[in-house]
Amino acid sequence: MPTGALIAGVHEFPERKTARSALEIQALAARAALEDAGLALKDVDGYFTAAGSGGLGPLPVLDYLNLHPRYVDGTTIGGASFVAHVHHAAAAIAQGRCRVALVTYGSTPRSQGIAVGTRGRTAGDYLDQFEAIYGTSTVGLYALVAQRHIHEYGTTGAQLAAVAVACRRHAGRNPVAFYRDPITIEDVLRSPMISSPLHLLDCCVITDGGGAVVVVHPDLARDLAKRPVAVLAATEAVAHTAAGKRDYLVSAAAQTGPRALGEAGVRHGDVDLAMIYDSFTITVLVTLEDLGFCPKGEGGRFVEDGRLGPGGALPINTDGGGLSSNHPGMRGIFLVIEAVRQLRGECGERQVPKARLAVVHGTGGALGTRHSGATLVLART
């Protein structure tokens, strides 16, 4: 059953390296997204973010924005968080808990010099005594899945690289993408190995950035500045070490994909574009399989023919994705923003012709230990 909720306004903060603070980025993005929606600050009565700090979740951001919502959600499940927030906002709106839900994100790892993918952890949390002591890094934990995929299905490094090449081709059409120069499969394979089999160009960029999304009750449709986008389906799931017995090639998307497409009542062939969380090339390959765009194990062959690039049968990450455009640590909100802009036909040179239906899938955490997945199906109204 469709959620009924609408996405009324979006904004992506355009700078990839900035002197502004994470809070300032969120304030500027919130103002621009509300303006995009044709709504005012006083209309906001629900607030969602994973960008808070100090163990207080959204409280510092609410203080900075001087908001007093009647519904607050600080769900933090890594990069999928902001996709999950749209899910939670749609549920809260359906329940009458709020009518205008604001989601914001801002983060500045590039200007702070934080190596998001290769930094280790300290052995602080209970689980770290069995994991961080072995030199785990985000890249390494995704690489574990890539290595197993290669072993199990004969996937090649060139097939993984094809995902990065497709995203870079899209990025070339996005004026604010971090990297825009075309790359080849050889470029990816010749880039330095970070954690085998993942090379530097199999990994997302590290940028500053942020954005905001406004989700509203369907009653508000007529009051909006632009034609809103419908949230046809919203789902989430987790996958973890499962007490020591886990098939690490199956991601949370295997649960969210069938549920989301079923809820929306659409088939894979109806989907015009997909925004697939691309922390690493392997993330995209596994997600496409588990969402059901191709049979399990055939992701390598599915991505290698240019299908994901501009003009392909299933364009993904048309902004350039985390691999080329923007990844400040958690990328989920940009998936939603770009999908909405595509469905409103606002993407200029990178516009997917006649885009009516988009699948958005966020992945958070680490594929090789524990992660979250959140899937939305969005439609032009």
CA distance 280 to 137: 13
The reply to whether 120 sits near other proteins by the rule CB under 8 A is yes
Token duo for residue 325: 């455009």
CA distance 237 to 256: 6
* One residue of 1, 40, 193, 225 binding other proteins per CB under 8 A: 193
For the bound state, the minimum distance from the C-beta of residue 251 to other proteins, rounded and expressed in Å, comes to 14
The reply to whether 192 sits near other proteins by the rule CB under 8 A is yes
The rounded Cα 149 to chain-centroid distance in angstroms is 22
> Among residue numbers 126 through 145, which ones bind other proteins (CB under 8 A)?
126-137, 139-141, 143-145
**Span near other proteins by CB under 8 A; candidates 73-81, 172-180, 193-201, 259-267:** 193-201
* One residue of 20, 97, 173, 246 binding other proteins per CB under 8 A: 246
CB nearer to other proteins: give 114 or 176: 114
For the bound state, the minimum distance from the C-beta of residue 196 to other proteins, rounded and expressed in Å, comes to 4
Q: Is 211 within 8 Å of 200 (Cβ atoms)?
A: no
The reply to whether 54 sits near other proteins by the rule CB under 8 A is no
> Among residue numbers 141 through 180, which ones bind other proteins (CB under 8 A)?
141, 143-148, 151
**Span near other proteins by CB under 8 A; candidates 87-95, 114-122, 167-175, 312-320:** 114-122
For the bound state, the minimum distance from the C-beta of residue 126 to other proteins, rounded and expressed in Å, comes to 7
- The 64-103 contact track toward other proteins, x by CB under 8 A, reads ----------------------------------------
* One residue of 21, 53, 184, 196 binding other proteins per CB under 8 A: 196
* One residue of 121, 173, 226, 356 binding other proteins per CB under 8 A: 121
CB nearer to other proteins: give 161 or 352: 161
**Span near other proteins by CB under 8 A; candidates 90-98, 120-128, 267-275, 306-314:** 120-128
> Among residue numbers 226 through 245, which ones bind other proteins (CB under 8 A)?
241-245
**Span near other proteins by CB under 8 A; candidates 81-89, 118-126, 180-188, 334-342:** 118-126
For the bound state, the minimum distance from the C-beta of residue 125 to other proteins, rounded and expressed in Å, comes to 8
The reply to whether 113 sits near other proteins by the rule CB under 8 A is no
Token duo for residue 87: 């899910």
The reply to whether 115 sits near other proteins by the rule CB under 8 A is yes
For the bound state, the minimum distance from the C-beta of residue 340 to other proteins, rounded and expressed in Å, comes to 35
CB nearer to other proteins: give 197 or 322: 197
For the bound state, the minimum distance from the C-beta of residue 139 to other proteins, rounded and expressed in Å, comes to 8
3-state secondary structure the chain: CCCCCEEEEEEECCCCCCCCCHHHHHHHHHHHHHHHHCCCHHHCCEEECCCCCCCCCCHHHHHHHCCCCCEEECCCECECHHHHHHHHHHHHHHCCCCCEEEEEEEECHHHHCCCCCCCCCCCCCHHHHHCHHHCCCHHHHHHHHHHHHHHHHCCCHHHHHHHHHHHHHHHCCCCCCCCCCCCCHHHHHHCCEEECCEEHHHECCCCCEEEEEEEECHHHHHHCCCCCEEEEEEEEEEECCHHHCCCCCCCCHHHHHHHHHHHHCCCHHHCCEEEECCCEHHHHHHHHHHHCCCCCCCHHHHHCCCCCCCCCCCCECCCCHHHHCCCCCCCHHHHHHHHHHHHCCCCHHHCCCCCCEEEEEEEEECCCCCEEEEEEEEEEC
Cα end-to-end distance, the chain, whole Å: 16
The reply to whether 123 sits near other proteins by the rule CB under 8 A is yes
CA distance 76 to 99: 22
Residues that bind other proteins (CB under 8 A): 115, 118-124, 126-137, 139-141, 143-148, 151, 192-198, 241-246, 248, 368-369
